Structure 1
Amino acid sequence: MRSIEHDVLPEAATYGRNLSWGSAYILIISRVIGSGIFATPGSIAKSVGSVGLTLLLWAVGAAISACGLVVSLEYGCMLPRSGGEKVYLEFTYRHPRYLASTLVAVQAVLLGFTASNCIIFGEYIIFALDAEPTEFTQKALAVGLLTFITIVHGCFLKTGILIQNALGWVKIVLCAFMGLTGLYVVIFRPRNGSGSPANVDIFHWDKLWKDSNWSWGIVSTALFKVFYSYAGLNNVNNVLNEVKHPVRTLKTVAPAALLTVCCLYLLVNVAYFIVVPIDELKESGELIAALFFEKVFGAGFGKTVLPLAIAISAAGNVMVVTYALARVNQEIARQGFLPYSRILASSYPFGAPLGGLIVHYIPSLLVITLPPPGDVYTFILDVEGYPGQFFALASSIGLLLLRYKRRDLKRPFKAWLPAVFLRIILCLALIAAPFFPPKGWRGDVDFFYATYAIKHWLTFSSIIFGVLYWYIWTVAIPRWRRYTLEEEVEVLSDGTSITKLVHVTLP
């Protein structure tokens, strides 16, 4: 049986350590800067009502994301292995046996999809080409992107890394360009597409907080979107087996990425408010960035070239998310928690986790193609963001438990305890917030009346399903058939080590 202390030892992937500090930095940046900053500011401003509260939430989101980051930094430096929260929860919560592993596996397979940025890619391509925005065209573009990226990462490992690095730098330059464009408008006061000057008056104190809605139900929903835009700061934790000097790199690369993203997000939001009138901004939906470019640069360059850059940015996000989640799926398969684990855990034949990519591809494809037309993006955003709060809560509490029970563990980085407690409090508040919506509020999704309840029902259903599956698979059936589950290590032909769960008959 594999030693329970095996998780604290560094482990290199069979396809080598291909990620330098710069590649790790882009892996985080490109994961964090996806579609969020180009699609959500309009809906956030519409929800909370004012410029001041919108900007405050983006700043608060960065501060709170830092609290989550220090948790993942301590875990990652203490357990420098691929898998991220899968490794951390398994190491921390060993009893009941296999429960944490089962819940992580269910979450990763059922809800670990990449759909929102694929949809944004399709929307911005159609907008840039001035094509008819049909449901079929949008979904076809989204599925085409997902399929292309799956093939590249599954068959051409190093090529995929080079492409995602290039796309990451494109989005950094794009965000900086947008922020400087807002500064240009303020200094030179050019008139936008509607003939209006820069909206600098909106930052006067008496207008800054006008129409603010401080209801916790509204604010928490907006915070989910902000957190989604900051999500991915722990992306390198999922692939530490492939990072050169993993502990040293992790301690510096993640804080550098957070600082970069926070500055860029605030600059871009200020640019939006300067250029786009507040009423138009609130009704812009996911095309706020396209509207911004059109008003500054006109219907030619502004409506074609720069929206294409945003589509490319969304594609870059899909690349790094797919890259990381495929590794998580591979780690789940290596531990024997997926059917056909020997195939799905193997790096054969292209020296890449093709099996993990296929496990990621299937739910992503279904989420893109099955929902009816309408504001699908916002619904997916909430479904992707809400379940993560439960795992964030569990890992934060687990960190405190390990500080008490396992003081012997080497901790190259130690999280600031007030930040850990703050993260726990916020996770609890965000988990509870959906049960206390404002009176008469139905949410911001219009294609199904009950989506506000459904998105949270999906989360609880996945957890309940995971618990039931664990109980039947590891407790009820073994008792009925009188056997126990034990672990055996097997090394595949490509050098990948997997854990086989074998039945040992009781006397």
Structure 2
Amino acid sequence: MTKLIKEIILKNHLNNHNLTREIGLFSAIIIVVANIIGTGIFTTSGFIMEELGSPQTMLLCWLVGGLFALSGALCYGELGAMFPKAGGEYIFLRESYGKGMAFLSGWISLIVGFSAPIAAAAIAFATYLLRALPVSFSFKTAVSLGGIDIIIISPVTILAAAIIIILSLVHYHSLLLGTRIQNGLTIFKTTLICVFIIAGFCFGSGSAANLSGELNLGSIFSDSFAVSLIYISFAYSGWNVVAYLGGEIKDPGRNIPLSLFAGTFLVLGLYLLLNMVYIYALPVKEMSGVLEVGKTAAVSLFGNNISRYFAAAIAIGILSAVSAMIMTGPRVYYAMSKDGVFFKLFGKIDSIHKTPAYSIFLQATLAIIMVVTSAFDKLLLYIGFTLAVFAMLTVAGMIALRIKKPSLERRYKTFGYPFTPFFFILGNLWIIFFSIKEKPVVSLFGLGTIGLGGLIYLYFKKSGGTIHTGIHVGRNRMKIIAICREVIEKN
């Protein structure tokens, strides 16, 4: 009888199509780097310089923002090693606070965390790539309602939608193909940044005098420093990406915390060096308020002829970030569906490709809608701060798990505990406070979005979750009965 039960369990397990662990340490680090380095580092430093007015204070602000991200990565490493499953924050918050808080995190991830940034990054990619081409395309068709453009068709939106479709199909095809393309794009992007840094200092027409001056530590507690930190937190966002892929990481107890730390630390170093190049290239007045600070610095260092090549390089760099987000996001919706708090369809794994196909297509559809409606900028403006809220709650949940469940196996424990999590929590509270202070509409719209997520969760809990669970259990019973019959007939 024991042998019969073992055969039943084994066969039922083999018939259950799960995600496969194919991502090694190197690929995991590459994904972290790819997901962090996007448009932020090439566009925010000019606004930060305008706020702070001091090169030394700007570099300190980038360092502090990097330390916040690094402390978060150290904390997420412990959670990822404890719960090496697909879903990231959704799984962590579920274990700490229950399904309700976890669903709200997944809801925010679906709209603000992935779909909207994918749309924004895809449009940025298309804009830079078209700028790099020797020919120009300028047609535009819009569908208007009440004088407002609802749908916009242009070369930028067409190219942005096309790249979302292409990369979504790549990551649908297989995890192996997706990671190989991701690795190639990220290595190319990182190499370009390193070449730009070295060439800028060695051959560029900059001035070391721009880097001189005194650092005023008192500025850390100013409103301008806090506002600048908000910009920088966006540029560092994505440091937690590997936690979402926990179900596909090899040796997760070791590789999740190590890749989170190594990838974030590498980006911190690159960001500081890149900003030093910007300062070396541009005096404070020329940098202040400049949107395309990366391009402006490149022109100042190497002349106008570099402009088109730099635009192409940035486009490739952004492509890497788009790919990383397309790979990561669907694992959250997959985990939500498996828990019965999202449509069952999105918890299915393609039996041939072993990827969450329907979740990938859902995300691609939402991102394309945001591209053609230009809704992504409004989403990012009004509810982007909620990502900091849930990251803070996740780390607070790690502390709660230490207290409530001390017996849980922890292959890795957060370095510097309890200072590290408290540093991260206080840093995010600081960012959230000044986000609300500077843009109060953000908090109102964010609360409204979270409230809407709560209503949707109640719907799934009362109807969708029950139906999902009933069907799931019923099908499992039928499988077990069928397997029992098959085994008995063989014997």
TM over 0.5: yes
Which range is displaced more, 416-425 or 426-435? Answer: 426-435
User: What residue is the counterpart of 1:180 in the other structure?
Assistant: 198
- Aligned AA for 1:166? G
The answer to whether the 8 A contact 1:48-1:214 is kept is no
> What residue ranges of structure 1 are gaps of 5+ in the alignment?
1-11, 192-197, 438-451, 494-507
Give 2:363's match in structure 1, choosing from 360, 372, 378.
360
Alpha-carbon distance between aligned partners in 2 of 1:64 and 1:213, rounded to the nearest angstrom: 14
Q: Does 1:79 align with 2:64?
A: no
- Residues 22-421 of structure 1 mapped to structure 2, 5 A cutoff: 22-94=26-98, 98-111=99-112, 112-113=114-115, 114-129=118-133, 131=136, 136-185=154-203, 191=205, 198-205=206-213, 215-216=222-223, 218-285=224-291, 287-300=292-305, 302-339=306-343, 341-342=344-345, 344-348=347-351, 350-371=353-374, 381-383=380-382, 385-415=384-414, 416-421=417-422
> What residue ranges of structure 2 are gaps of 5+ in the alignment?
1-15, 141-153, 477-491
The answer to whether the 8 A contact 2:336-2:347 is kept is no
User: What residue is the counterpart of 2:8 in the other structure?
Assistant: none
Cα distance change, pair 157–76 in 1 and its aligned pair in 2 (3 A): closer
Cα distance change, pair 362–139 in 1 and its aligned pair in 2 (3 A): same
Give 1:460's match in structure 2, choosing from 407, 422, 447.
447
Cα distance change, pair 380–47 in 1 and its aligned pair in 2 (3 A): farther
Corresponding residue SS for 1:308: helix
CA RMSD of aligned residues (A): 2.9
Alpha-carbon distance between aligned partners in 2 of 1:279 and 1:460, rounded to the nearest angstrom: 38
Please report how far the alpha carbon of residue 44 of structure 1 lies from its aligned counterpart in structure 2 after TM superposition: 2.1
User: What residue is the counterpart of 1:432 in the other structure?
Assistant: 433
Alpha-carbon distance between aligned partners in 2 of 1:319 and 1:384, rounded to the nearest angstrom: 23
The answer to whether the 8 A contact 1:182-1:270 is kept is no
Cα distance change, pair 351–471 in 1 and its aligned pair in 2 (3 A): closer
Q: Deviations over 1:453-486 (max 9, x none)?
A: 54443321111112233345546x89xxxx9996
Alpha-carbon distance between aligned partners in 2 of 1:490 and 1:484, rounded to the nearest angstrom: 10
- Aligned AA for 1:199? S
Please report how far the alpha carbon of residue 61 of structure 1 lies from its aligned counterpart in structure 2 after TM superposition: 0.8
Alpha-carbon distance between aligned partners in 1 of 2:467 and 2:186, rounded to the nearest angstrom: 48
Alpha-carbon distance between aligned partners in 2 of 1:105 and 1:253, rounded to the nearest angstrom: 23
Please report how far the alpha carbon of residue 104 of structure 1 lies from its aligned counterpart in structure 2 after TM superposition: 2.6
User: What residue is the counterpart of 2:488 in the other structure?
Assistant: none
- Aligned AA for 2:400? L
Q: Deviations over 1:422-463 (max 9, x none)?
A: 2222222222223323xxxxxxxxxxxxxx454443321111
Between 1 and 2, higher relative CO (CA 8 Å, sep ≥ 6) is seen in: 2
User: What residue is the counterpart of 1:21 in the other structure?
Assistant: 25
Q: Which has the higher helix share?
A: 2
Alpha-carbon distance between aligned partners in 1 of 2:46 and 2:137, rounded to the nearest angstrom: 23
The TM-score, its normalising length taken from structure 2, stands at 0.81
% identical equivalent positions: 23
Q: Deviations over 1:137-176 (max 9, x none)?
A: 3222222221211121123543222111101101111121
User: What residue is the counterpart of 1:496 in the other structure?
Assistant: none
Corresponding residue SS for 1:356: helix
The answer to whether the 8 A contact 1:17-1:243 is kept is yes
Please report how far the alpha carbon of residue 351 of structure 1 lies from its aligned counterpart in structure 2 after TM superposition: 2.9
The answer to whether the 8 A contact 1:225-1:381 is kept is no
User: What residue is the counterpart of 1:445 in the other structure?
Assistant: none
The answer to whether the 8 A contact 1:330-1:344 is kept is yes
Cα distance change, pair 242–486 in 1 and its aligned pair in 2 (3 A): closer
Cα distance change, pair 404–163 in 1 and its aligned pair in 2 (3 A): same
- Aligned AA for 2:238? G
The answer to whether the 8 A contact 1:32-1:231 is kept is yes
Alpha-carbon distance between aligned partners in 2 of 1:148 and 1:489, rounded to the nearest angstrom: 33
Which range is displaced more, 61-70 or 358-367? Answer: 358-367
Corresponding residue SS for 2:407: coil
The answer to whether the 8 A contact 1:116-1:380 is kept is no
Which range is displaced more, 98-107 or 143-152? Answer: 98-107
The answer to whether the 8 A contact 2:341-2:457 is kept is no
Please report how far the alpha carbon of residue 249 of structure 1 lies from its aligned counterpart in structure 2 after TM superposition: 1.2
The answer to whether the 8 A contact 1:47-1:213 is kept is no
- Aligned AA for 1:165? N
Alpha-carbon distance between aligned partners in 1 of 2:372 and 2:91, rounded to the nearest angstrom: 32
User: What residue is the counterpart of 2:149 in the other structure?
Assistant: none
Please report how far the alpha carbon of residue 81 of structure 1 lies from its aligned counterpart in structure 2 after TM superposition: 1.3
User: What residue is the counterpart of 1:7 in the other structure?
Assistant: none
- Aligned AA for 2:276? V
Alpha-carbon distance between aligned partners in 1 of 2:326 and 2:467, rounded to the nearest angstrom: 35
The TM-score, its normalising length taken from structure 1, stands at 0.79
Corresponding residue SS for 2:329: helix
Alpha-carbon distance between aligned partners in 2 of 1:76 and 1:326, rounded to the nearest angstrom: 17
